[in-house]
Amino acid sequence: MNIDGVISNVNLNLARKWRSKSFDQIIGQELSVRILKNSLYLNQFFPVYLFSGQRGCGKTSTARIFAAAVNCVNLPEFQKNPKNCVLPCLECASCRAILEGNHPDFIEIDAASNTGVDNVRQIIESSSFMPLIGIKKIYLVDEAHMLSKAAFNAFLKIMEEPPESVIFILATTNSQKIIETVKSRSLQLFFGSVENSRLEAHLKDICEKEKISHDNSGISAIVSESQGSVRDALNILEQVRFSASSVTKISVQNILGHIDDDSLIALFECLLNFGVKDLLNCIKTFKYELFSPQYLWKKIIDLTRDAIWIKHGVLPNDSVEYCEKINKIIKKVSFERLNYIMLLFYENESIFVKTTEKHSMLECLFIQITKKNDVSNKSGASSAPNKVSSAPEYDDLIEYVDEDAQECGPKIGSVNNLGAGQDLQASYYSEEIINPQEFKKEPSLISKNNLNKNEKILKEAIKDSCEIKSKEHEIWCDFIASLGSVSDPLLNSIFSSGEFVSFDRFSGILEVKFAKKFSFFQDSITEKEKLWMPILQKLYSQDITFKPSFTGDDKVSVNRTSAIRISNLEKSLGSSVNSDSISKSSKNIGSGAGSSGNYPGSYSDFKKNNSYAYGKAKSKTVDLSKSYAGKSIDVSDVATWKKANTILKYFSGNIVEFQNN
């Protein structure tokens, strides 16, 4: 009776039918196989083997083959002449018993359903009996990580002094969960995911033997979905075989709920270049809800990642046609925008995993992305192309790609026609578009009603002191001024110390630099986001990703701005302010650090008033005292802060620095 004879009377699925039965049939895993073969050749066996690795990579099959080899009648022959001897022979009584699953000395235990300590005690008891037909009794504990801690501890005993005739094989997909004491007593073999080319060859081989009609693209589609797992690949192959007459890319995509590549690229183009209406039309056209949202999620990230590569002149894969398509789509798209899309997906990943309405959630994200196209199309879209063309690598790539693209340029499905509706589209949304210019003309829009006279004066002082470089920078200054409407002096002080770095309209990323010493206020900024973020978003009229960095020089901009501001405040308010407590700071512009030794009391005051310290500042007592000795004092010094607070009671505004003397 041959092997096929054994199993031909049962209809096995492909994964079981084509399970490896000898070392040669194991796909990949060369190192593990070599170690086991050497162990057999030298007749030296470890009492415990630990096979770890991802699912469907051959751990259980290898364990069975090894068990068969250990008890095979050919073993002595193999040890004399390893090259010309087949091991396991698969023909002797022992080998056949293992193939049929009824070998008395090979015991398979599924730890997932036998997790308790009693099961392990049973194993330990039975292991003391001699093997019946083989030379070793072999226990295969599958999913070993599922064993309870008590069970593991019970195992430890027998692992320390195992009977000569027993071998344990623990197989696990999660070796992290195997306790260290067990690991250290076992020989650990790793089973990695199988290389794509090996898996492809294996699938093609099976298709030919099973007479399954197939083409290369179909096989590749299966392989790329199986993530190196032979079993997963065979299971997909089986599903496709029963659902279609041939294994092609389309039949595989249908089974897996995957959208075809052309529709996917059309969707990607919509996201980057068209408006919300076009996007919704596109989604409607390809019956979006029929496809796996997880796959769409992954694919859009993949496409964006590839686009970033192409933008930097590196081709992400060998398909020139694919790279051409992507390159055409991203011509007018900045790197920042692509990066924004990546971040948007990653930021929402945990929600996406949890939600039951994955399609809707994905659609929301898509709309959020395309809505920016509406805004930029409407406002003239002047900044984006400039940004793009300044990247030299990108230009080079366009040159390289365009030569071919003119002749065989890909036609991208239905979406190319969508551009026509764009004007209509833009007007559709025009009501929602808030022109930032309007804010510029009237920066006090938000706080108009509650701006009192003093706030206005402070605001002017701040505006005067800001070096205005761009509209975005100007809006930032407006924001600082508008913070007067939020009665939070700490927030005011922190923000007005910030130095505008950059703002990107497309990604919405606003970068602001603060002095290093303000880094412990970072939490305060985040905690109070509800107070200031709406103002910021309203002024910039879009969603903002606020990126503070605390890398600034301790003196940069902070003192300069505030010094001017306070001297203006002093001028404007005259004697109504207690001028003793506000320094004659104008003399210190740009050279605050030079005035040393003027604050002998600051450290002791700070300690005395420790209970007054704000949040994390409290724990930084020593650092503060060191860095502040002999320097101008800012709000993080509590002694001064008390006085500052008194002033702020009367004048809601921003004080960042003043001197004590």
Q: List interacting residues with Zn ion (CB under 5 A).
A: 72, 88-89, 92, 95
Residue closer to Zn ion by CB (options 2, 596) is 2
Q: Which is nearer to Zn ion, 70 or 109 (CB)?
A: 70
Least distance between Zn ion and beta carbon 103 (Å): 11
Side-chain-facing half-sphere of 362: CA atoms under 13 Å: 22
Between 88 and 548, whose beta carbon lies closer to Zn ion?
A: 88
Closest to Zn ion by CB, 88 or 131 = 88
Q: Cβ(206)–Cβ(13) under 8 Å?
A: no
The answer to whether 15 and 235 are in contact (CB under 8 A) is: yes
501/314 Cα distance (integer angstroms): 29
Q: Would you say 507 and 545 are in contact if contact means Cβ atoms under 8 Å apart?
A: yes
**Residue 113: which of 81, 87, 147 has the closest Cα?**
147
Residue 449's φ and ψ, nearest 5 degrees, are -75, -30
Pick 72 or 344: Cβ nearer Zn ion: 72
Structure tokens at 102: 């009824």
Q: Are 528 and 491 in contact (CB under 8 A)?
A: yes
Ramachandran sector of residue 541 (left: φ over 0; alpha: ψ -120 to 50; beta: rest): left
Least distance from C-beta 19 to Zn ion, angstroms? 17
Min separation Cβ 17 and Zn ion, Å: 21
Q: Per residue, what are the HEC states of 444-472?
A: CCCCCCCCCHHHHHHHHHHHHHCCCCCHH
Of the pair 67, 221, the CB lying nearest Zn ion is at: 67
Distance of alpha carbon 348 from alpha carbon 326, whole angstroms: 24
**Which residues make beta-bridge pairs with 556?**
none
> In terms of Cα–Cα distance, which of 308, 312, 317 is closest to 341?
308
What minimum distance in Å lies between the beta carbon of 101 and Zn ion?
Answer: 15
Compare residues 71 and 497 and give the one whose CB is closer to Zn ion: 71
The minimum distance between CB 64 and Zn ion, in angstroms, equals: 13
The total of other beta-carbon atoms located within 10 Å of residue 395's CB is 13
273 with 373: CB under 8 angstroms? yes
Compute the least distance from the CB of residue 1 to Zn ion, in Å. 13
> Closest approach of Cβ 261 to Zn ion, in Å?
49
CB of 75 to Zn ion, least distance (A): 8
Q: Are strands 48-53 and 166-172 parallel, antiparallel or unpaired?
A: parallel
| DSSP-derived secondary structure letter, 591 | -
- Residue closer to Zn ion (CB basis): 95 or 525: 95
Q: Which lies closer to Zn ion via its Cβ, residue 96 or residue 332? A: 96
Place of tokens 């986001």: 529
How is residue 446 annotated by DSSP?
A: T
Between CA 364 and CA 330 the distance in angstroms is 22
* Smallest gap from residue 247 Cβ to Zn ion (A): 35
